[in-house]
Amino acid sequence: MRVHGAAASIKVPTVSTSRSNAPVVAVVGSTGAVGQEFLNVLEQRDFPFSNLKLLASARSAGKTAEFKGKKYTIEELTESSFKGVDLGLFSAGGSISKKFAPIASAAGCTVVDNSSAFRMTDGVPLVVPEVNPEAVKGMKLGKGGIIANPNCSTIIMLVPVTPLHRAATVKRMIVSTYQAASGAGYAAMQELEQQTRDVLDGKPAQPKIFKQQYAFNLFSHNSDMYPNGYNQEEMKMVNETTKIWGKGVPICATCVRVPVMRAHAESINLTFEKPLSEKEAEEILRQAPGVSIINDRANNRFPTPLDASHKDDVYVGRIRADLSLDGQKEYGLALFVCGDQLRKGAALNAVQIAELLL
């Protein structure tokens, strides 16, 4: 696969595993947007493997894909697909994961699942390697088990917020997301491109993936709405943060779909138990794994989705004191962050989890 993006900030120790006894890896949903990114990341990071299986639906079976100079035939995903497989990277949707991940685990395949199927399941680790790598302690490839990859918005938020939380303890968080088409897959990206062409040509937009015109528009995230007025994406950020941090923190999230092709942005407001200055926060973030800083006030230059696209780090800027707090009894900062949903928000995070198990 063609490789995109810079090397990630997290470095794993050099693994002595020879290619002959390296794990057998299966990519489930290999033809989708995240599945393709799995292959990019595996190649870029030179993840060790002795054999690779590309699994997808029956309609893709028989097609070929090239990886590291070798052609692989895409196989249909079946209940017998995981015999002899050590690592399964799943990104084929929740219903597929619910059916096949337990089957894979029972066959001895360790599953890293990118869907929401098992994120809140007791006993299933929910992991961001920069945040809670200890959650997979004792697990090994080829020994079964399921590990959940968090929601992309949760990952992009917690990579920069966690080191600040460790320094000053977050007691409240308000976050607004600006989520790209990539979060809804290739079809949504194609719809945004086609609608943009149509509108510029004076033609009506034709919504298919989304219920509303996407080009030159933005709207509430397209996930299900709950009776409390929050959508599913917003509640994922609340509930997943509690599980990952191991404690509940009041979070108010607003998730919005914006007409950007790739990489999500988030505006994050943090209230702390202890004082934390802008300068101290920036220094903490400069030392944090998986974080890059773009914080040039003089030139009004801060992170954008284009900065983060095809990159591994979460980009942080607009680091500033919350002027609505008195700074005497209440302490707060505001941040603006951007991260590539397909990489750190999905494929890269999953591969980093697998690296913890090597």
Q: The dihedral of CA 13, 18, 19, 20: what is its sign?
A: negative
Cross-strand partners of 28: 55, 90
Bridge partners of 144?
Answer: none
- Active-site residue, 152 included: yes
Half-sphere exposure of 295 (CA within 13 A, CB side): 20
Contacts of 340 (CB under 8 A, 6+ apart): 5, 182, 262, 263, 308, 309, 310, 311, 312
Measured distance CA(18)–CA(33) in Å, rounded: 30
- Helix residue spans in the chain (DSSP H): 33-44, 94-106, 152-168, 186-200, 232-245, 278-287, 305-308, 348-356
Residue the block writes with tokens 């959508």? 231
Report which residue type is found at 121: T
186-220: b or e for each residue (b if 16 or more CB lie within 10 Å)?
A: eebbebbebbbeebeeeeebeeebbeebbbeeeee
- Closest by CA position to 72, among listed 63, 82, 80: 63
Catalytic residue among 109, 165, 255, 264: 264
Q: Which of 152, 165, 221, 338 is catalytic?
A: 152
Q: Are 50 and 65 in contact (CB under 8 A)?
A: no
- Dihedrals φ, ψ of 89, to 5°? -95, 110
- Locate 355 and state its tokens: 């690296």
Structure tokens of 70? Answer: 């070798």
| 255 is a catalytic site residue | no
Which sequence positions are flagged as catalytic? 152, 264
